[in-house]
Structures are given as structure tokens and as C-alpha cells.
Amino acid sequence: LACAPHPARRHSCNMSNQREGGIEVVQDDAEIEMWKIRKLVKGLESARGNGTSMISLVIPPKGQINLTNKMLTDEAGTASNIKSRVNRQSVLDAIGSAQTRLKRYNQIPPNGLLIYCGTVLTDEGKEKKLNIDFEPFKPINTSLYMCDNKFHTECLSELLQSDSKYGFVVMDGHGCLFGTLAGNHREVIHKVSVDLPKKHGRGGQSALRFARLRLEKRQNYVRKIAELTTAHFITHDRPNVNGLVMAGSADFKNQLMQSDLFDMRLTPIILMIVDVSYGGENGFSQAIELSADTLGNVKFVKEKKLIGKFFDEIAQDSGKYCFGVKETLMCLEMGAVETLIIWENMEVNRHVLSNATTGETHIVHLTPEQEKDQKNFKDHDTGAELESIESGSMLEWLANEYKSFGCNLEFVTDRSEEGSQFVQGFGGMGGILRYQVNLAEFEVASDVESQGSSSDDEGYI
């Protein structure tokens, strides 16, 4: 089911990926990189070792290889004084492994370097060497060296904090402020002050002229703010923020949104409109507080919409959906899957099994419970033992290979009502298809082929 896709299809998939919006593709890649880091952090945090033989080494982007290597050499000299022979040897081995990993690099990568080396204890109580080195997907500004009985992953956990960027427009009759919020970091991009004429009943015969001048200045103010909003939040013909919050103490914010001068490319990303008591930076702070729940639920809402679309396809019986590991991988191999949806904590492993007698290999996907049953590692026809020549998490394999199938990969949680239903009712894996696929026909065809081959064998015997 999961063999390599046809080269021609691979080429067409790459072309389709190039046609997609650059920002959306980058965001999807960042989500998948964050999932990989989350999975790695979970594994490293659960690892434990004997003594202080587990080394965590974090080097920032501007670090120097030779200084780090010298520091490890000095640490090896200090470690040689450890009294316990077993612990001393484990620490020296871990430092040696870290130095070996460091020799692979001529210079520190642009985003920094993380190295984890040490001897960990498995579930069976056996010792196993673990050596990992990689460049994080975002710059890491922490410098760390720790030798402990566990790996220190605090710096990796900081990378997982959402860095989605949101824009704010705080507009009232005294001026306008443009700002952004990313994680816990807020920034004021631009401030504009204005002195608009107020309503009054004086002027006699000129009262209408004064009113007209007042409306004209208000209109010019709205025009200026609309132009600045486009300049600050549109880059390369696309919004450069994930969402936009309109705030203000008067009706100006509504006038701006309803105006023909407001850029239509920003309308779909407006998350909410909030009324604040102040303008300027005080209004910016109040707008952040009032919109905190909405901004925190943006990913939550996106997930609900995605699974809701999947449920709509099922409700309409359009045939443009699949669920379950076997059916989804079958559609994936056909190139029919447009959006692949997987529960982020799904525990299914991919095994490449080889028959030593015939030399044939085939791929199976098993849960941890199924792996305990040795029948799944035997040939169903001959009963011969099958050797697992390659094994690993199916989710990691899909995270690395999904682009070659020409689909988008979305990880979902089970924290929402829709997510919980997707996990419990549909196995936590499904897909929205590009076109109708009748999976029942493929299953019948495969059954007929297997029956035909068995009858031929019997006639030959």
C-alpha cells in the first residue's frame, strides 16, 4: 500500500505544490515541524539514565565550534575524576559522542545546533545509547550544557509556543495605532495623530459649509488609515498576519471596514471588532485583553472547520472521503487525497517485512497491541517467519513523505467535540479526496485476484 509513488505523479505533485500560495505552504510546513519537535520532546523527556551520563548541549547560531569543542575537552578532564567507574565511563562516552557529532559541522547552522547524547534505560531495564543532533526549525538563542540523569528540553518547549502573528488597528477621533502581537511580544508599528473638527451649531449661513468640510476631513482621515492598513498588513499581494483585530472607541472602525477604500484582501482575516475606552497604546493593551480568547482559539476554530468539512462530505455521501489506515493509505497511493487528516497522538508503526525464502518484501501498519501478536510477523500462506528490516512511526513517515503524494497534511487534536468524534468514530485518520473513489470495487477486485491466483496454484499442483 505504501510503496513509492509513480515518478510521473511525483512530478505533477511538485508542480501543484509550486502553484499553491507560498505563505500557506510555509505555515503548513511550520506546523509539521512543530509536531516533529513535540514528538521529539515527548520522547526525550521520558528518557532516564543511570547517574549523570546524559548530555544536553545547545549552541546558539553565533556560537563557535572550536570553543564548544574546547569546553567538551575540559569537561572530559573533569569527568575523569568521578569515583564511580561505571558512571565515569558513561559520562566520558557521552562526551566523546557529543564531540563526534560536533565534528560533522564546519560551522554552527543558521538556526543553532542541539545535541543530545547519553545512555538511557529502556522499558526492559536494558541500557541503550542515544545520540541525536539537529538544527531546529527556528533560531534558538539559548546556550546550554548540562550533564544530568535526564535530557533538558526547556529550550525546545519554548520553540513550540505559537508564534502566529496578529495585526491590530486601534482607531478613534484623535489618531490611529497599528500594532502586531506574536506570542507574548507586542510591537507598535506606526502611530498617526489627527485633529478633526467637532460638531457645532455656529456659523449662520456657513453652517452647512462647515459641516461639509468636517465630513470631508473625516473622509480623508478614513482614506489615509485605509492606505496605511494596506501598507502595513499586505506584503507581496498577501496578508502578512494570521488575523486582524479592529479596535476603537468611536464608530471610525466600522466606517473603515465598510468603506470602499478598505482592502478586500484583509476582509477575510478580520477576527473580531472590539470597543475600547482609550486610543493609542492604552487602547492597544485593552484590545489585546479583550481579544485574548478569540486569538487563543484561532487554531481551535481552524481544526473544527477542517473536521466539519470532512463530516459534510460523509453526510452528503459524495464519495470524496476515506477513513481508516488501510483505506486512507490506498487512496494516498492513488494520488486521490487532497487533505490528509491525522490525530497527532495516533500510535501506529510502519514495518517493512522481508521473507528470507522468497526475498519478497511487504509493508504492514500495526498498533502496539498488534505488534505483540507474532502472527502479524508471519507469512499467512506458508507460516514462515518474516524479518522486520525497517520500522518506525507511521506518522513520522507521513510527515516526511506527504509532499510526494501531492496532498496537504493536517494534524488534529481530540480536545474539541469534532476532534473527539473523529478519533473515536473514524480511527483518527482520514482524508478529503479530489474525486470520487469507490473503495468497495478495489476490495472486490483484490479478493478476485487472490482467489484466481490460489485456484491456478491448485491446478498446477
Summarised one tens digit per residue, pLDDT across range 284-318 is: 888 888 888 777 766 777 788 889 899 999 999 88
CA distances from 360 to 138, 302, 389 (A): 42, 43, 12
C-alpha cell at 42: 515527548
Distance CA 346, CA 348 (A): 6
Q: How confident is the model at residue 431 (pLDDT cuts 50, 70, 90)?
A: very high
Q: How far apart are CA 212 and CA 120, in angstroms?
A: 78
Low-confidence winner among 81-95, 199-213, 214-228, 380-394 (lowest mean pLDDT): 199-213
Length of the chain: 461
CB 49 within 8 A of CB 72: no
SS3 category, 214: helix
Asked if 213 and 193 touch (Cβ cutoff 8 Å), the reply is no
Compute the distance between CA of residue 321 and CA of residue 12 in angstroms, rounded to an integer. Answer: 22
Task: Calculate the dihedral angle through the C-alpha atoms of 416, 422, 425, 428, rounding to the nearest 10 degrees.
Answer: -120
Average pLDDT over residues 15-34: 50
List the 349-355 sheet strands across, edge first: 361-366, 349-355, 386-393
Grid coordinates in use for 321?
A: 472521503
pLDDT, tens only, 49-71: 777 778 889 988 888 888 988 99
User: Average pLDDT in the 157-179 region?
Assistant: 82
User: Is the backbone of residue 204 left (phi > 0), alpha (psi -120 to 50) or beta?
Assistant: left
Q: What is residue 384's three-state secondary structure?
A: coil
Mean pLDDT across the stretch 348-368? Answer: 84
What is the rounded CA–CA span in Å between residue 440 and residue 456?
Answer: 25
- Asked if 422 and 307 count as a contact pair (C-beta separation under 8 A), the reply is yes
